[in-house]
Amino acid sequence: MADYTNLQQVRQWTVDNHVDVTYVSDFHTISYLTGFGSDPIERTLALFVFADAEPFLFAPALEVEAIKGTGWPYPVYGYLDHEDPYALIANHITAQLTDPKVWALEAGNLTLDRFQAIQQQFPAAHFDKNLSPMIQKLRLVKTPAELEKLHVAGKWADFAFEQGFAAVKAGRTEQQIAAELQYALMKKGVMEMSFGTLVQAGTHAAEPHGATNQTQIKPNELVLFDLGVMWDGYASDASRTIAYGQPTAKQKEIYDVCLEAQLTAQAAVKPGMPAEDVDKLARDVITKAGYGDYFIHRLGHGLGQTDHEFPSIMAGNHMPLVEGMCFSIEPGIYIPGVAGVRIEDCGVVTKDGFDPFTHTSKDLKILAL
């Protein structure tokens, strides 16, 4: 049976903010609040929370029985593909509230066309309350049960690195290596990556988000891996850079600077420290070494049900770190035409520091040709 404590907090927020209807549209948030997880793709999955009435879920008809199977104790209403979901939603809401005027939305998620669809049903309503910041704060600190899932997801990321490193051979493409590590995971029952696996060889790694492609592995180049899996609804995300054959002096220097930045930031994490200070520590190491212009993204991002979530570990974020907050520490140096290096662990803030979810060695691994 799911724990609906978080759902009750959303209801209390609805009461405290004098909201008539809170419309939850993000399927990740719905999973977090109800225990039912499903990506509806183009269909409508929604949760409606009220100050003075029972919440209800509205879902594609093909999901209704699955929702009931979770033990969901409140109403669930379905719709068929040919029906207008927002007309039906309006009927279910007005059956409980004749004139809901004040609405809260997930402004960080709801698409414009769906907003217009619900607005058309309630033209006299005001939609100026934003639930998103409350949900961000609610999801910020992970429970022991959530942390257990994140640690398991991290162990599978470590397994994926092991498989990926073993697949690196001259002439193989990045795509072939990614396919091998993902197949190895699938054979173990891990069926979903948390994002598209990145394998980038040589100068291709100087594109921080360059897609895995047909680039072939060549001797004496660096190979960057960035990957993660989904485990029981929670994500892992980690990066390692290895050498295939002996790295050049420049490649080794870039790697050593990036590693020093990563280790310096990770070792400094403690509760109460402003998030921006963690970014600055890593950035200062890279800048002092002369590579500041090649570190072109924030140091980190939150992790939980998705691989990128609140908060950002970056300049300008004064938020103090708290125990149970989970995020990445991932400095990178990307020099076009030369090489790219990124080293990343995600982990959780503890009373003593930072506990990473991944444990693959960060010493430069040099594969024999």
Q: pLDDT band for 129, please (50, 70, 90 cuts).
A: very high
Mean pLDDT of the chain, nearest integer: 97
Q: Is the pLDDT of residue 115 over 80?
A: yes
User: What does the pLDDT read at residue 3?
Assistant: 79
Question: What mean pLDDT comes out for the span 160-187?
Answer: 98
- pLDDT at residue 2 above 90? no
pLDDT at 111: 95
Q: What is the pLDDT of residue 34?
A: 96
Is the per-residue pLDDT at 346 higher than 80?
Answer: yes
Q: Give the C-alpha separation, 205 to 212, whole Å.
A: 10
pLDDT value for 176: 98
What tens digit of pLDDT does each residue of 23-46 get?
A: 999 999 999 999 999 999 999 999
- pLDDT for 209 equals 81
pLDDT tens track for 193-231: 999 999 999 999 999 888 999 999 999 999 999 999 999
Mean pLDDT over 167-191 rounds to 98
* Residues 346 and 307: beta-carbon distance below 8 Å: no
**pTM for the complete prediction?**
0.94
pLDDT at 183 over 80: yes
Q: Decide if pLDDT at 248 tops 90.
A: yes
Assess contact for 71 and 1: CB atoms under 8 A: yes
- Tens of pLDDT, residue by residue over 51-79, are 999 999 999 999 999 999 999 999 999 99
The confidence score (pLDDT) of residue 262 equals: 98
The per-residue pLDDT for range 307-335, each reduced to its tens digit, is 999 999 999 999 999 999 999 999 999 99
pLDDT over 90 (residue 1): no
Order of all β-strands in the sheet with 366-367: 198-201, 221-227, 238-244, 366-367
Return the structure tokens found at 104.
């809260």
Average pLDDT over residues 282-294: 98
User: Region 141-149: what's the mean pLDDT?
Assistant: 97
Neighbours of 367 (CB within 10 A): 15
pLDDT band at 150 (very low <50, low <70, confident <90, very high): very high
Give the span between the Cα atoms of 269 and 290, in whole angstroms.
Answer: 24
Per-residue model confidence (pLDDT) at position 276: 98
